[in-house]
Structure 1
């Protein structure tokens, strides 16, 4: 990680990883999956002395988006997501926020297509569409920093659930292969839950490969 200062908040009822990506040179900061508790995210940003410039959503499930709107409004920054996740983000009955009394509807400012590369906080960020957990699940790859934020597509030695609406075991296996067959083995993988891993480890030991 050349210019990346990476910190994590574990938030919400299912212990979701929210990542804060700060450029050491510029102080600009990206928020990946503002899961819950906007106050905790704001406190972490303050402690990092970062200047938020964008929110990246890996997918639209309740446990990854509950603080997104509050954080967006606090810092007046755009939300990015995969185009195929538009309906889930918009509809509380599909993203399951309605079951948590919040009825959260998110309308991203920017929809990305597979393999789009954007420049944020001084980083080159590539969105990789990895359906299977949801139709619009995606990962964000910072090639120059050697890191991938995999949401609920890839976990340490496993993959995300496929029994929710829009899920598909066949698709998530294809998505896993898409990642391990194309990214360098030394790439560090930071998932939406639990511990980090590497592409090399998953290529060798993930039973879904």
Structure 2
């Protein structure tokens, strides 16, 4: 089944957006620099691009930069005067991302802030609200990250959280996997959060069986 999922993703990419030398070079550089291959898929990257445009985003917050693959997709969705703030724990990942963003021609729109995301988020005060937030970092902290996205957003802000199905692991109430525990805590938080409208969508493809949350601040 996995081969079919891969083939369908390849078909979607071929028909709907084709090859992209810049994004291919980004993934190649990430691999060469030893980054883990956990970027969003091309189809998911295009989805983020479209979601950000649909939301009319002028300021985007990304939690979890890695090598900047999803960052490039999101930066491309911004208007000429738009801004993207992206948070990355690992200095090496941030260094690779800077090079990739420069090569992609979007570095002037992106502010990479290095350090624990919780610290970086707490330091954001007095800035304009974010219109769109993409969360793809340590799953243990997802509920906290969403709470911070609400604080830093506005009514109408769109929030996307990646990797929330975990091949069905989200159903395992007795799991000792911190990523699953954190994901279940996220769903508990969403179910009780009156400031959000939210849903989750399962996905299959090159990233196997997973899914994402889509939420909107009321």
Q: TM-score range by the shorter chain?
A: 0.3 to 0.5
What TM-score do the two structures reach when normalised by structure 1? Answer: 0.42
What TM-score do the two structures reach when normalised by structure 2? Answer: 0.41
Answer 1 or 2: higher relative contact order, Cα 8 Å, separation at least 6. Answer: 2
